[in-house]
């Protein structure tokens, strides 16, 4: 069939699918989206990222016996093998079901099965009007008189009972058995293009004491190719493993994304529960999720938390199971940036997401200090957000002594760290050293007493005065036995 221009003429201002949903709301269960693509503001296509399970109830007018049904308006990318349509009782059963994934002309025509249409010829004249029974290369239109027209060549379809053509997928179902009458079926399917993650804003109060106002929201993205209106929403936090790669939908230009929905400060917090080893958040009120939008809704009420500002020196160079490294130079960096962190205790379960850390400047504006990723954090556990490098703090490193005697199974090394503070206030710098030459070691001397020591960590708290510097000198002795060495 040659490509045709599909024209829509609106004859009635209604927006119903081929078979309308009952009054019971559609329920969406959204899983956490790990990537940023789903939330990007410059995308112009349906997304294959994200994962959601849709629970719909659809009403059908059954004729009794064998019958073909069509359900359009489904998302553009869903898992056909996991799609399920169930009728109540044991009378009506699904004989077969076919998911039409096509976009463009063929997909839109298939989505009009069951609608009233008029086929238009190449010169603009009407050919036939009635209910579209079959789409594809050849149309079958059943007229009001009961006669049916088989149409091979046409230029356009004019729809009389829809305000939009189906942009997504269409499910064609053949049922058998049961009696005539109206019945409601349960339709469940997973789809991509929907997902959520935590969105947090921590506003740190000025002053020496670390206090912050903490806002926790759920950021919900919809690029499924379908609007979701007045739906019940359940958010799942945690890692639910999926074996299949997400379906990759065909691309089409999307509408401009609406502005994010304003959050209702008086709304109740979501209801929390467990789902196996996962955690769920059920929103207390229904929401709208327009296609091509990012919506935010509160997870918790805003609250004030204690926090801690932390400056950390850490080369992150560790011992990885090699033989003792007896060469003098093992590539330790002469200088390392000192990282600024914000630490706080989770007041409740915090799903993974991004934390924007702000503070109020002298002009009264809230300015960004940094943004970091927060992993899933259970209640009462410590959370750390890295804010970037500390501008006024620096560190240099030098090796002050070194000797290695493989015959005696001993190696000694001295290190000096010089920590400098160019700011106007005293700072405490956390120094984390990881003895990286061998697994067995001991501190033989130190100008500052370590505050923490584990098999792979030596930690110091170093106070550095304003506009000043402090040196930390320490020495380590590594020892081993012949039995510790790998045999050739």
Secondary structure letter of residue 434 according to DSSP: -
pLDDT of residue 107: 61
Mean pLDDT of 459-467: 97
User: What is the spatial distance between Cα 300 and Cα 281, in angstroms, rounded to a whole number?
Assistant: 11
Q: Which residues contact 125 (CB under 8 A, 6 or more apart)?
A: none
pLDDT of residue 105: 65
Place of tokens 């007896």: 326
Residue 313 included in any domain: yes
Number of H helices, E strands in the chain: 1, 31
Please state, rounded to an integer, the average pLDDT across all residues of the chain. Answer: 84
Least confident of 33-42, 323-332, 338-347: 33-42
Which residue from 113, 231, 254 is spatially nearest to 170, judged by alpha carbons?
A: 113
Least confident of 62-66, 205-209, 243-247, 296-300: 243-247
Which residue from 176, 203, 171, 133 is spatially nearest to 368, judged by alpha carbons?
A: 203
pLDDT of residue 132: 87
Residue 396 included in any domain: yes
Q: Which residues contact 42 (CB under 8 A, 6 or more apart)?
A: none
Mean pLDDT of 218-244: 83
- Per-residue confidence band for 88, with pLDDT thresholds at 50, 70 and 90: confident
Residue 175 included in any domain: no
Mean pLDDT of 239-243: 63
User: What is the spatial distance between Cα 39 and Cα 32, in angstroms, rounded to a whole number?
Assistant: 12
CB contact at 8 A, 392 and 464: no
pLDDT of residue 485: 84
Residue 418 included in any domain: yes
Place of tokens 């935590």: 198
Residue 415 included in any domain: yes
pLDDT of residue 12: 29
- Per-residue confidence band for 461, with pLDDT thresholds at 50, 70 and 90: very high
Summarize pLDDT for 361-408 with one digit per residue, the tens: 999 999 999 999 999 999 999 999 999 999 999 999 999 999 999 999
- 430: domain CATH number? 2.60.40
Domain residues for 425? 309-338+390-484
Give 484 or 357, the one with higher predicted confidence: 357
Return the bridge partners of 119, or none: 128, 157
The total number of structural domains in the chain stands at: 1
Mean pLDDT of 122-137: 84
Place of tokens 């091509």: 292
User: What is the spatial distance between Cα 121 and Cα 157, in angstroms, rounded to a whole number?
Assistant: 9
**29 has a pLDDT exceeding 50:** yes
Residue 444 included in any domain: yes
């Amino acid at each position: 069939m040659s490509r045709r221009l599909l024209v829509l003429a609106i004859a009635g201002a209604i927006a119903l699918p081929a078979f309308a949903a009952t009054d019971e709301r559609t329920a969406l269960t959204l899983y956490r989206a790990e990537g940023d693509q789903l939330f990007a503001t410059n995308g112009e296509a349906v997304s294959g990222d994200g994962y959601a399970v849709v629970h719909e109830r659809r009403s059908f007018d059954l004729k009794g016996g064998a019958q073909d049904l069509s359900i359009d308006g489904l998302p553009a990318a869903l898992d056909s093998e996991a799609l399920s349509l169930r009728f109540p009782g044991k009378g009506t059963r699904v004989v077969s079901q076919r998911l039409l994934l096509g976009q463009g002309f063929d997909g839109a025509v298939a989505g009009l099965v069951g609608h009233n249409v008029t086929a238009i010829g190449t010169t603009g004249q009407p050919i036939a009007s009635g209910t579209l029974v079959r789409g594809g290369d050849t149309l079958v239109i059943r007229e009001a008189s009961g006669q049916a027209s088989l149409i091979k060549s046409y230029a356009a379809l004019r729809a009389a009972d829809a305000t939009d053509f189906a942009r997504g997928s269409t499910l064609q179902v053949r049922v058998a058995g049961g009696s005539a009458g109206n019945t409601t079926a349960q339709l469940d399917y997973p789809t991509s293009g929907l997902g959520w993650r935590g969105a947090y804003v921590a506003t740190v109060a000025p002053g020496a004491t670390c206090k912050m106002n903490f806002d926790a929201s759920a950021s919900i993205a919809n690029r499924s190719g379908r609007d979701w209106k007045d739906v019940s929403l359940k958010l799942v936090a945690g890692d639910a493993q999926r074996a299949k790669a997400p379906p990759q939908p065909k691309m089409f230009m999307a509408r401009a994304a609406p502005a994010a929905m304003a959050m209702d400060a008086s709304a109740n917090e979501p209801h929390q529960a467990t789902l196996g080893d996962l955690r769920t958040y059920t929103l207390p009120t229904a929401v709208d999720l327009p296609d091509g939008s990012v919506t935010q809704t509160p997870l918790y009420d805003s609250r004030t938390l204690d926090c801690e500002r932390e400056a950390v020196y850490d080369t992150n160079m560790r011992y990885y199971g090699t033989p003792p490294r007896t060469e003098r130079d093992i590539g330790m960096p002469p200088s390392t940036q000192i990282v600024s962190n914000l630490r706080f205790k989770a007041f409740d379960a915090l799903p993974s997401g991004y934390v924007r850390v702000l503070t109020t400047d002298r002009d009264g504006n809230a300015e960004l200090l940094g943004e970091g990723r927060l992993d899933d954090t259970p209640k009462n556990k410590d959370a750390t957000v890295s804010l970037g490098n500390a501008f006024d703090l620096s560190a240099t490193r030098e090796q002050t002594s070194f000797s290695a005697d493989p015959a005696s199974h001993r190696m000694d090394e001295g290190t000096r760290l010089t920590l400098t503070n160019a700011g106007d206030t005293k700072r405490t710098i956390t120094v984390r050293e990881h003895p990286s030459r061998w697994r067995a070691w001991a501190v033989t001397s130190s100008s500052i007493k370590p505050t923490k020591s584990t098999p792979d960590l030596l930690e110091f708290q170093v106070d550095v005065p304003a506009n000043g510097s402090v040196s930390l000198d320490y020495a380590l002795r590594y020892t081993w036995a012949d039995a510790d060495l790998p045999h050739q």
